[in-house]
Structure 1
Amino acid sequence: MDHVIWLGGGCGSGKSSIARELAHRLDLVLYATDAHTWEHWRRRGAPELGSGDDRWLRTPPEELASQFVGGSHEVLPLILEDLDALRGGPLVLAEGPQLLPELVAPADRTARPTGSGRWTTVWPATPSSTR
């Protein structure tokens, strides 16, 4: 996916703000994974989510983290399908917490070490990663 610049990171790390600014300044197409969450959920034929209380208040944090990583694995093919449809146009800046390096690197057949200009993953610092 040599037409895609990847920007991943934790929730609240600033990646969406950075992505909007970069897309504006560099005239890039912005693909925000969060904006496609419900469409991807529908396309996957995923079950009903239940109440927010059941999901967020009654589920242990370890299970929530495991569900997030598992869901990221499941949704990546749909993200790649969407991005492939944007091939041939301007560069695309894809951003979202689901863009984990271990998922993106193998999916991007043009991946090169960071700095080659063909593939880069940017992970904004989070408070816990800067301690």
Structure 2
Amino acid sequence: MTILWVGGPAAAGKSTLSRLFARKHGYIWYSVDAHASAHEARAAAAGLYVPGTDPGTFDRAPMILEDIRAYPADAPVIVEGAFVTPTMAGTARNALWLMPSKPEQAARLDVRNPGINHEGFIWGRQLIHDQLSDTQAPVLEVDNQSIPQTLAAVEQHFAPYLTTNPDTPTRQSYLRLSNTQLATQATTLTTFDCECGTPTCAALIEAPANGLPPTRPLLAPAHT
């Protein structure tokens, strides 16, 4: 199984870039954030976590790895989230950390959620910065980059792993796995990927959490 790891702080672009990368190159997109509720429930059942307290009190790495191993053995996966650390992912070519500067992160957070105190996210950036210090972890500085520019840089970094080109049914099955993770985490509306399986498709569909058709792909209008 090919596993690519994308780490970085809030507003680094991890989810957007990993989601686009997965659709274009036929990977399963695994969002650590989309599994937060499931991981908390599993940790609580194991006596490792008290619901309502800081979820940072238990180690999510074993559960993340367990989730990934449950995918088809030959499926390529791109894993992204702030919980991706050098200890979990290693520091080889199949890992990459997207890092904005503090001013860049603050500006992006203000665009995302105006008027909100972002102190916790700023602290998270410093924590990740410290985790990467004194390691050989590959880092991509994302200041002043557009989404296409960052995607191109991510593709260049992961180029050795882009040797496969899954057929449409396989791509659709991977998209369904990624969408299912979103449906499991969501409580109301969520934004799903179109499941047409076309590598150039970037269409998103807003639908209820239970809105995935059980026997056919979820398609954007006019997509087949």
Q: TM-score, normalised by structure 2?
A: 0.41
Q: 1:24 — aligned with what?
A: 23
For residue 89 of structure 1, report the CA deviation from its aligned partner.
Answer: 3.6
Q: Which residues of 2 match residues 95-110 of structure 1 at below 5 A?
A: 95-105=80-90
User: 1:12 Cα shift?
Assistant: 1.1
In terms of fraction of residues, the more helix-rich structure is 1
Amino acid at match of 1:88: A
The superposition leaves residues 85-105 of structure 1 with CA deviations (integer Å, 9 ceiling, x where unpaired) of 114242011111101112322
Q: 5+ unaligned residues in a row in structure 2: which ranges?
A: 103-128, 130-140, 144-224
**Matched-pair identity in %:** 25
Structure of greater Rg: 2
Q: Distance in 2 between matches of 1:126 and 1:37?
A: 24
**RMSD over aligned Cα atoms:** 2.3
- Per-residue deviation, 1:19: 0.4
Q: In structure 2, which of residues 39, 42, 52 is the aligned counterpart of residue 49 of structure 1?
A: 52
Higher relative contact order (CA 8 A, sep 6+): 1
Q: Do the aligned residues in 1 keep the contact of 2:40 with 2:51 (CA within 8 Å)?
A: no
| Unmatched 5+ stretches in structure 1 | 56-66, 106-110, 115-119
String of CA shifts for 1:2-42, please: whole Å, max 9, x gaps.
Answer: 42111111111101010011011101111101000010001
Alignment check: 8 A CA contact 1:3 1:87 kept = no
Structure 2 residue 110 is matched with structure 1 residue 125 = no
* Equivalent position SS for 2:37: helix
The aligned residue for residue 146 of structure 2 is: none
